[in-house]
Copies of this chain bind each other. A is one copy, B any other.
């Protein structure tokens, strides 16, 4: 199966390690054996964390952009609704799925737009867009991809602004810089061979100092202090 997926990841943190601004979104193409992306579209977003579910609409649009370039068998969206097809997800069916009240209300706000995108994907490409979320390996790979791109976007911001930032990374992963690439490797059990990377075309990595730290207030999360090196 050729699977297209998308996610948003990494957040600028304040001094108390609270997430403030979501940094990047990415869509990915993932093929067997489903360990890394084979194609990537990424964008800086620097959007307030509280804007929440709105970002999923943008992720769906990024999937469409990738789908316009290459063939896929299915689209995996980062919504955990047991893998139902978004096109079939009426407000009535949503009420039957076990979701929290707040979660359901947030989904209802974006559902018309998501269903329109899903209908378009079905009509043009003949494939489904599934709300599979946490169960999907391609969604995890999209998260690691958005995270590695976010590191470069944040480095560029640090170089431009001359101010250090603390970047909160996706859950359970660790960054590794190798030449002009920044890898983000999963640390989740049984994901030891799952990773993604971003290419530093702007050579921002050379102009900053990276220091990894654990997030003391959120077990499983790491952060990267990014400082300018004048």
Contacts and interface: CB of A to CB of B under 8 A. Distances in A.
B33 A214 contact: yes
A219 interface: yes
Contact of A132 (B32, B35, B83, B217): B217
A46 interface: no
A10 B172 CA distance: 26
A49 interface: no
Nearest to A223: B33
Interface stretch (A93-101, A136-144, A146-154, A175-183): A136-144
A126 interface: no
Interface stretch (A19-27, A115-123, A189-197): A189-197
Contacts of A216: 1, 3, 30, 34, 76, 136-138
A125 to B, nearest CB: 18
A164 to B, nearest CB: 14
Residue in A35, A190, A194 with the greatest tally of chain B CB atoms within 10 Å: A190
B172 A135 contact: no
Given A33-B212, A212-B33, A136 B217 contact: yes
A75 to B, nearest CB: 12
Nearest to A214: B34
A68 to B, nearest CB: 22
Contacts of A220: 189-191
Interface of A: 1, 3, 15-17, 30, 32-35, 76, 83, 132, 134-138, 140, 171-174, 187-192, 194, 211-222
Given A189-B189, A189-B220, 16 more contacts: A1-B15, A33-B211, A33-B214, A34-B214, A83-B217, A134-B219, A135-B219, A136-B216, A137-B214, A137-B215, A140-B219, A172-B189, A188-B189, A190-B221, A190-B222, A191-B220
